Amino acid sequence: MKDTITGIIDVGSKPIVSREAVATGLLHLSSASLDVVANGRSPKGDVREASTVAVIQAVKETPRTLPHCHPIPIEGCTVDWSIEKDSLRCTVTVRTHWTTGVEMEALCGVNAGLLCAWDMLKSVEKDTNGQYPVAQIDGVRVLKKSKGDPHD
């Protein structure tokens, strides 16, 4: 029996249209870490600023991480951070005019941003045994994706 494994899906015949995806996720943190984020006191620098750079890099490099994703001309990427009750929320919006969507780029961005924040807060989050009893990434999902008309 022979299995055919598809490489990259051919999207060449699809029309170029405006596309947007919004993804979000949470990094649950201790109150001490949330205070560090809110007041910019991480020994590694501003958590939201550095993590925003990680988001942008991940969005642009998604095809290098996910082998079936097409290189897409990213036209815009916005990153929003908010401190919630016990979490840091990252929301990423990615825009393009292309033949395929950008939801994987938005999801990669959210994950990279949250991982970067966690990395920058390790010294605060670790307990006396070097474990992370509170830190947890949760709720990463696509909030919205849209596809416009070919004349946009």
The residues assigned a catalytic role are 119
Q: What is the spatial distance between Cα 6 and Cα 69, in angstroms, rounded to a whole number?
A: 12
Strands lying side by side in the sheet with 136-147: 76-83, 87-98, 17-28, 136-147
Torsion of Cα atoms, 58 then 64 then 69 then 75, to 10°: 40
Q: 32 and 127 in contact (C-beta within 8 Å)?
A: no
Pair type for strands 17-28 and 87-98: antiparallel
Question: Taken in order 108, 110, 116, 121, is the CA torsion positive or negative?
Answer: negative
Helices (H), the chain: 31-39, 47-60, 62-65, 103-120, 122-125
